[in-house]
Structures are given as C-alpha cells and as structure tokens.
Amino acid sequence: MKEIKAIIRHYKLEAVLNALHGHPEFPGVTVTPVRGFGKTVGRAKSQEVPVHYGTTEMVKLECVLNDQDVEAAIALIQQAAHTGIVGDGKIFVYPVDRAIKIRTGEQFTRIE
C-alpha cells in the first residue's frame, strides 16, 4: 500500500475529486484546507508582514491505495490540478506497512 499526499490549489479541488471518482478502484480521500508557502509562491515580501499574509490557501488530499493503483491516481490528480502556473502544488508518495480499522481492529495490508 502507498499513501498519496497532494497539495493543490483550492479552486482545483472539485476537478480533482471528480477525476478521482472516475477511478473504479479509488477507495476514498481525506481533504484538509491548508496554508503555506513554497520557494516562489506565497512568501511574505517583508518581515514586517504577518506570517499568514505570506502564505497561500491550498488543499491537502490524503489517500491510501493499493500499489497497482498509485500511478493512475497520480496521473488523475496531476491532470486535474494542472494550470501550468507556478504554485500548482506537489504530490508525495509514501509506503504504508499496514492499516487498522478502528471499529473492528481488523488489520490489512491491502485496501479492500
């Protein structure tokens, strides 16, 4: 299993979610509004500017997928979130050893 974390522009969320809904094996996603800055976008121009003014509103998507579904999900996110303008975001992929269902205690190494 792999976890995908994607930081995207907030106004591209609907397009990305629509794209992911079209993936037949996509199990689900967690969406969190976030703020931050990158190397070239969202940095405060002066130390006198409050920190939150130097950040950009973004959205973080998090999902755990079976290994064989990761590349398709990445492609869907990248295509739907792309504007071609600096600051489109980033996608990160992490290994996941196991997952435990809180309600039942069931442990699994594949998303079913």
Per-residue DSSP letter, 54: G
Judging by beta carbons within 10 Å of its beta carbon (0-12, 13-18, 19+), is residue 84 exposed, middle or buried? Answer: exposed
- The model's confidence at residue 50, banded by pLDDT at 50, 70 and 90, is low
Q: What is the pLDDT of residue 44?
A: 55
Strand bridging mode 2-9 / 30-36: unpaired
Q: What is the pLDDT of residue 53?
A: 61
**Lowest pLDDT segment from 58-62, 90-94, 104-108:** 104-108
Q: What is the pLDDT of residue 54?
A: 73
Set out the domains of the chain in order of their start, with CATH numbers: 2-108 (3.30.70.120)
- If you average pLDDT over residues 84-90, what whole number do you get? 91
Q: pTM for the complete prediction? A: 0.84
CA distance 93 to 100: 20
Q: Which of 5-19, 23-37, 38-52 has the highest mean pLDDT?
A: 5-19
CA distance 69 to 75: 10
Q: What is the pLDDT of residue 109?
A: 83
